[in-house]
Amino acid sequence: MPKKVFAGRTKRLRKKIIKFLEQKGQASSTEIYEHLNSKTYGGTTPQQIGNILAQDPRFRAIGTVRNSTVEGSGMLPGVARTWDVLVYDLSLDYKEWS
């Protein structure tokens, strides 16, 4: 008997994330966010993606990636900003969940 996940309003998003991770293998939350917003009409928010990935047992965090950017304009020196982003993969028993 399959285990139950109560998806509610995010059922379609969860299915799209599973399909994306099946094809790609592993991806950061930023990559998942950009993929969903390019493939869905209404898009989603980073907070919603984070909640889905953190609370659904079909996804597991496997590490972090450090992102960085330099912000500046014209002749002013840029300000470097760095932050960590979680990398996710499908759990080993993700097909047992419905």
Instruction: Using DSSP bridges, classify how beta strands 26-28 and 79-90 pair: parallel, antiparallel or unpaired.
Output: antiparallel
Residue with tokens 């299915």, as numbered in its chain: 15
pLDDT at 36 (0 to 100): 95
**Identity of the residue numbered 2:** P
**Domains in the chain, start-ordered, CATH in brackets?**
8-92 (1.10.10.10)
Burial class, 5, CB count within 10 angstroms (exposed 0-12 / middle 13-18 / buried 19+): middle
Strands (E), 6-74: 26-28, 59-71
Q: What is the mean pLDDT of each run of 10 residues along the chain (98 residues)?
A: 81 94 95 93 92 94 90 70 93 87
Residue length of the chain: 98
CA 55 vs. chain centroid, Å, equals 12
